[in-house]
Structure 1
Amino acid sequence: MKSLLSQKPGTAAKETTAPGALTSFIRFVVCGGGVGVLSSAAVPLLAALMPWAAANALITVASTILCTELHALFTFGTGRRPGWREHWQSAGSATAAYAATSAAILILHTVQPTPGMLTEQLVYLSASGLAGIGRFLVLRLFVFADHGTRTAAITIPVRPTPAPAFSAAA
């Protein structure tokens, strides 16, 4: 049995197994929702120092990085910090979720040019919920999936070819 000291730097022994789907989903909602609430408070504070769009962009980048770290370590229990690949894939899924919610509001305003606040919130929150479920599935099944347990089950039998016969007489 290897001790933690004899392992390669940057690797850690997994002492726990990854949480189940329901546990992961609850953690996903708590982490993402918690960071979302903090972000919604941080944007107006930062907007006092710079244009609102710039403050929103900075907070969005920072919150996506923070959520990726939390999801790797806590939500999906990978036992390690995420690398560049996970950060880029997580950012891609966050961008897709942002596009989906923006499209939902754009479609609403196309169909009903002056919707009430309640209708707008209902559409936005519904789109956010669906985008969140999609993001959870992408993160769980692709970004933070334990790819080490997936092995190729395809084996190709190789038949040895007989060696050519050489004659001693030349």
Structure 2
Amino acid sequence: METVQSGQRATQPGAVTAFARFVLCGGGVGLASSFAVGALASWIPWVLANALITVVSTLLATELHARFTFGAGGRASRRQHAQSAGSAVAAYAVTCVAMLTLQQLMATPDPMLEQVVYLSASALAGVARFAVLRLFVFARSRSQAAGTVRAARALPATVVGAPAPASPAELCRAA
């Protein structure tokens, strides 16, 4: 039975559902970001546009992941934003290392190979980022979830000195 407290779910969605939502939210924000960087870069330097859009898209994606992907039921906390930003920086580093490695191995790699390397590194970083967000950033501790279940359950009232309630068998014999 699923426990509901204050209209919020007490459990996370399943891993497959959460991953599908992660891809949908993260991919959607990433796609929108790529267009936004191009548009903003027509007014300001590309490096500045990319940095600005990266910050905004990370904030937006973290909110979407908190509310929708991982079922946290509300806004992301500052701690969750900081941890999510850390995982985004790590993912960025993975793609940079992959591309720099390719550049070291081949002076002028084929554009198709560059795309394969970049997308592979990005996919690997995305799966790792999903795991970090699910298991650490938006995870509910077992004791916290158990406390929610215990708090939601009605406990029987007992009165000192009162006789114990009759069992169903005793009630049937008395009748």
Please, what TM-score do these two structures have when normalized by structure 1?
Answer: 0.79
Q: 2:79 aligns with which of 85, 91, 103?
A: 85
* Greater RCO, 1 or 2 (C-alpha within 8 Å, sep 6+): 2
Structure 2 gaps, min length 5: 148-175
> C-alpha root-mean-square deviation of aligned residues, in Å?
1.6
Confirm whether residue 46 of structure 1 aligns to residue 40 of structure 2: yes
Q: Distance in 2 between matches of 1:38 and 1:31?
A: 11
8 A contact 1:97–1:128 mirrored in 2: yes
Q: 2:120 aligns with which of 117, 123, 126?
A: 126
Confirm whether residue 107 of structure 1 aligns to residue 101 of structure 2: yes
Determine the structure 2 residue equivalent to 1:35: 29
Q: Distance in 1 between matches of 2:19 and 2:6?
A: 24
SS at match of 1:134: helix
| 1:131 to partner: Cα distance | 0.1
Confirm whether residue 61 of structure 1 aligns to residue 74 of structure 2: no
Identity %: 59
| 1:16 to partner: Cα distance | 6.2
Q: Distance in 2 between matches of 1:104 and 1:70?
A: 28
Structure 1 counterpart of 2:110, one-letter code: G
8 A contact 1:19–1:77 mirrored in 2: yes
Moved over 3 A (4+): none
Structure 2 counterpart of 1:78, one-letter code: A
Q: 1:20 aligns with which of 8, 11, 14?
A: 14
Count of paired positions = 141
Please, what TM-score do these two structures have when normalized by structure 2?
Answer: 0.77
8 A contact 1:73–1:81 mirrored in 2: yes
Q: Distance in 1 between matches of 2:146 and 2:105?
A: 46
Q: Distance in 2 between matches of 1:65 and 1:121?
A: 26
CA deviations over 1:80-119 (Å, ceiling 9, x no partner): 1111000000000000000000000000010111100000
Structure 1 gaps, min length 5: 1-10, 152-170
More helix per residue: 2
| 1:75 to partner: Cα distance | 0.2
